[in-house]
Chain A
Amino acid sequence: MKCLLLFAAFFRTGLFSFGGGLAMLPLIYQTVQEFGFMPPEEFSDLLALSQVTPGAIAVNAATYVGILTAGIPGAASATVGVVLPSFLITLIVVRFLEKFRDSRYVEGAFSGIRPVTIGLIGSAVLFLSEGVLVRGPLISAELFTGGLEYYDLTAVAIMAASVVLMAVLKVKPIRVMLIMAAAGAALGSAGLL
């Protein structure tokens, strides 16, 4: 019964959320409160854990709430629930787009959407850098007035090194991430990161 409830609650969360994992967290919080899945004071653990562990943030959060509420079956129910709307909607939309492949309106729409997506990928970098490269919001006066203290210089150096590795030395992204994970672990143990 609990599993069915978890499935339904997270299906709804997956269906009505736009903008990816971080934007979904408030909605997940509401769901958790509404159904009383887990004590609210544990929600900060959920926030921390779902952002540092690998994978989609929303899937991490669903698995976490599920396993605390009803063990492994609960985790499976919540995860399938949050994933299913994405999966079904994308399948329907891809099929729809293939059907209207000859439409000049679809072609026109994508001629506008493609350049905009480049800009959106760029803006994702701005959001990701918050709390990592800078110690607060990126779009703020502190960026100029906060001095060097506002930047995490070690993290900025790691970012710059990653750019050089991938763009100049043509190292594969996955290898760059492994190298920087090792560098980060070493720097972290030394208290530098």
Chain B
Amino acid sequence: MRAADPRYNRNGPYFMSRNDESAKQVSLPALFLVFLKLGLFTIGGGMAMVPQMQQLFAEEYKMLSQEEVIDCIAVSQSLPGVLAINMATFIGRRVRGVRGAVCAAVGVVIPSFVIICLAVLVLDQIGEMKAVQGAFTGVKAAVCGLILVTAFRLGKQILKSPFEWVMMAAALLAAGVFGVNVVWVILGAAVLGIIYTVIAGERRGGGKGASK
């Protein structure tokens, strides 16, 4: 339950609560190293980062709540640019301010940079090797499964009301089957969310969002 979560901040969305007492403080070099590792194991695009990100920051370090991880993905997807960089900057900024954002973004970029430079300068033939191709296919297939499990774990936290289930299913259909751009899906969801909150608030004669 949300109410049972000590980090639940009733005054606003999760990503804005700065009073997380159970959260561990992480040093800047440690944050850099975490994102270095995340960058190294992001194979097949930014979304491949999500399972490790969720496991590390929400479950292991408890620096972010499950909702904050979701907010990070949502905001990062709706902004222009590189998804992995957006997510790294978001988390770095949340955990250790602007310096944290720099450490996280630099950390996530370095593996890409070094490996591409090495691939061009030294190891021209490595991509042709059967074992290397097999390893990459293996990781890509594994990533599909890992993201699936992560989606279920996050869904268990987020999806409570019928409204939320319908929104999830609609987004899966729109983006996954009909190929609607993610930005439109998120903008639409924001508008529907506001309308739903206002209507639900009026029905209760108070206003859910305004509860202190």
Contacts and interface: CB of A to CB of B under 8 A. Distances in A.
B140 A132 contact: yes
Main SS of chain B's interface residues?
A: helix
Nearest to B12: A101
A177 B77 CA distance: 24
Contacts of B75: 90, 93-94, 97
Contacts of B121: 67
B90 interface: yes
Contacts of A166: 51, 145-146, 149
A166 B194 CA distance: 35
B137 A193 contact: yes
A86 B85 contact: yes
B10 to A, nearest CB: 10
A176 to B, nearest CB: 6
Interface centre among A15, A17, A184 (most CB of B within 10 A): A184
Contacts of A16: 80
A87 interface: yes
A174 B52 contact: yes
Interface in A102-153: 102-129, 132-133, 139, 152
B61 to A, nearest CB: 13
**Contact count band on A:** 35 or more
B47 to A, nearest CB: 4
B74 A117 contact: yes
Interface string B162-176: 011101111111111
A160 to B, nearest CB: 7
Interface stretch (A1-9, A29-37, A44-52): A44-52
Contact of A94 (B74, B93, B105, B181): B93
B190 A15 contact: no
Contacts of A20: 45-47, 77, 82-83
A179 B197 CA distance: 45
- Residue among A17, A52, A116 with the most chain B CB within 10 A? A116
B15 interface: yes
B156 to A, nearest CB: 10
Contacts of B132: 185, 188
Nearest to A15: B80
Contacts of A127: 176
Contacts of B115: 53-55, 60
Contacts of A128: 44-45, 47-48, 140, 143-144, 147
Contacts of A120: 73-74, 77, 171-172, 175, 182, 185-186
Interface of B: 11-13, 15-16, 37, 39-48, 50-52, 55, 67, 70-71, 73-77, 79-86, 89-90, 93-94, 98, 101, 105, 108-109, 111-113, 115-117, 119-121, 127, 130-152, 154-155, 158-159, 163-165, 167-177, 181-183, 185-186, 188-198, 201, 207-210
24 contacts: A54-B39, A55-B108, A59-B82, A60-B116, A63-B116, A76-B113, A86-B81, A87-B105, A93-B75, A114-B67, A115-B158, A116-B171, A119-B185, A120-B77, A123-B177, A124-B47, A125-B147, A139-B177, A158-B138, A163-B149, A172-B55, A173-B52, A185-B132, A193-B133
Interface of A: 14-22, 24, 48-60, 63-64, 67-68, 72, 75-76, 79, 82-83, 85-87, 89-91, 93-94, 97-98, 101-129, 132-133, 139, 152, 155-156, 158-163, 166-167, 172-174, 176-177, 179-189, 191, 193
